[in-house]
Structure 1
Amino acid sequence: MDMHTKALKPRLSFWQLWNMSFGFFGIQFGWALQNANASRIFSTLGADADNLSLFWLAAPVTGLLVQPVIGYASDHTWHPKWGRRRPFFFGGALLAAIAMFLMPNSSMLWMAVAVLWMMDAAINISMEPFRAFVGDKLDASQQTAGFAMQTFFIGCGGVIASLLPQILAWLGVSNVPVDGAIPDTVRYSFYAGALVFFLAVSWTVFSADELPPPDLESFHKERKHARNLNVAFVEILSGFTKMPKTMVQLAFVQFFTWIGLFAMWIYTGSAIADTIYGTRDAQSAAFQEAGNWVGVMFGVYGGVSALAAFILPVFARATSRKIVHATCLAIGGISLAGIVAIGSKEMLMLPMVGVGIAWASILTMPYAILAGALPASRMGYFMGLFNFFVVIPQIVSGLLLGFVTREFFNGHTVQTLALGGGCMLLAGVLTLFVTDKAGS
């Protein structure tokens, strides 16, 4: 048996769960600003709609490279004051804050793309150990609640960040690009996001503690061995052959889930501008208004996910985690595909409710199911490896969705959203075949 699995983990209070999860408020603040505004920034700086998916490759590629390495490194880190995961929380937050300040000040397209790579790498450094943090600190009976608390903060951060450009516009801040520059509403939103990201993650770093390895002497011997680069490289790659059965099954679910999500993040802005506002001109006021409305839409799904985060575990106890996840993915897929039939901007809020229900489950149930199937001493590594099945579908989407949109949908990105919805629905069906031995 793994030496870490024998350690008795104390049951944490509500506020301890709150403190250890609060950093995700800042992390999602950064992700939400990116998801709602990156395509808008690229388009404003002259990007063609056909190429948007290629520019978005920064997120999955950096995740593919960074998360397994950071997970492996954090597994073999221990400091009496900083612990195991918290050094990575803090370092990533500092780098992400710098990138978020630079992003809206990009004056050329290539600069924005380069800063996006930096921002995504930094966010991944900070985010990856948070998943393992739950497995480290919580007994199996509290892990679903721990991931649900993270989902709550993800929802709250997503709501505020997504709405921020629209709120600033209501307050009189200019939403019009002048001489091709990024609108002030977007610029000031990213400045606020940099501050929120750093402060929220710092709250968790300084308010939460970590459990030391039960046998420090054995841990230090293992860490010394792990620092050999050849050994580390072999161990990182060999993990693919040692994945638990549950992890393999969830990989297929994640693949189709994240094709749907990536399609939504890339193309909702251009789809709504085209179908609701009647424009494809990124320099027009109507296109920028569509960008703000997409922020409102994303705020709705973030808000719904925050509310659903604490309801879904109740349904999971009454049924099972995989039944809940399958149902939520089906609701989200049907909702996303349904955007193609909507002609009113107000009615667009309805499918976002369904997407929010799916988002809450996506951020909770797969990780709760997976945590019970992983060895405790390699929790960070396997959580990082699991991210491969989040980023690989995004890379596939980045390479193919532009071609599919152009060749099969005649450039109408709303149809790409429908395709994404279909993929999410398929993921729901595949969830029914996942083995969850830990139950709810």
Structure 2
Amino acid sequence: MGKYQGYEKYKDSGVEWLGEIPEHWEVKRTKFFVTKIGSGKTPKGGSEIYVDSGVMLIRSQNVYDDGLRLDDVVYIDDEIDNLQINSRVFPNDILLNITGASIGRVSLVPPNFIKANVNQHVCIFRPDLKKIFPPYLHLLLCSKQGKEQIFSYENGTSREGLNFQQAGNLTFAIPPPDEQEIIARFLDHKTKQIDDLIAKKEALLEKLDEKRTALISHAVTKGLDPSVPMKDSGIEWLGKIPKHWSLLLLRLRYLIELGKMLDQRRISGDYLVQYLRNVDVQWDFINQNDLPEMDINPNEYERYLVKNGDLLVCEGGESGRSAIVQGVDGILGFQKAIHRLRVIGTEEIPRFLFYIFYYLVKLGVFVAEGNPNTITHLTVEKLKLYRLPKPPKKEQQAIVTYLDHKTAEIKQQKAKILEAIELLKEYRTALITNAVTGKIDVRQVPIP
């Protein structure tokens, strides 16, 4: 692999998918170098028993390959903790998600870790320190061979997960303990370098997102000509706008219709129509594949169908998230969680309003009472009463053309950065895999 050399002598591992391994390595199953394989349990009562402080209960959403993420960790009190004694987590334990969509994610519990438990979705491997270096076991489970074994044990497509017997039968090539430590320290150094590069590129992505938001915000509130006279909009979050722009109520500019409520009990199957859900409407993109169906009577088509050029706005979730309908050549409905905005007259460019909604969402205008943790809904009544900037149609089109061009440039820049990040991640995985399977010999590689 690049500048790294292999070992002098190899032998057949006896495992087809593992191939040859260094002559002095041994093939072992996980159960032979750990003292515990087990998981916890979720306390009875669910989220109602969680407290503001106490003993941590680590769940699958806290377990990641690059470490535990405890921002949303929950706590249980001492009484419940006493019932969880068999799920206690100790420093140097390896935590592996064994069920659900996050199956295969794995974390090394750091030294001096405070008191904690895991629930039933997380498996504890407790390394035998005489046989396995804990960071090395973590690397084994992060490697391509580790992930592939874990995924191969999934029960069908439902991802029901691993049982403890399967977890104990995960098979790896194991070097002597002192060599494990050398490999682990090498990989710790190299992966930190790679992670630093990834972090820098992710910071560039954030800056590009900020640039995109700033471009849109300025264009849809100030226009493209910095020399035009301005006026106070009278709206606190909007500030000054060009003097020749108007601020009409949205209901005077667009017909606003909330989609049809889904009622499974009333589906007869006589008038089945595919329909869009909230999740299908993303920023500037509408999913039209594998859509569900509901009954929409032909006499309801005018009210509950979409057509090309309509602007769809999410009523809940990320309230205000929007996209314009394009490429529809048949009958397509929309659910109650979506507003359909259809132009009244001929003086509107829906894509300009799309950019307005992007600005409003990023500004937090639709956040309930200014609290981002509160579930917010953008009701029809609220939406109709918003006064939003309206330049002349020709100017709307000019702004849209400008923003389409500028945001396309940013999108291309982001795509190149994302590609570079994926290549770094692939290299990271390959480096780990080649080191822990003996394809490269890193024992003599100097580490600063």
TM-score (norm 2): 0.22
Larger radius of gyration: 2
* Larger relative strand fraction: 2
Q: Which structure has the higher relative contact order (CA within 8 Å, separation 6+)?
A: 1
* Larger relative helix fraction: 1
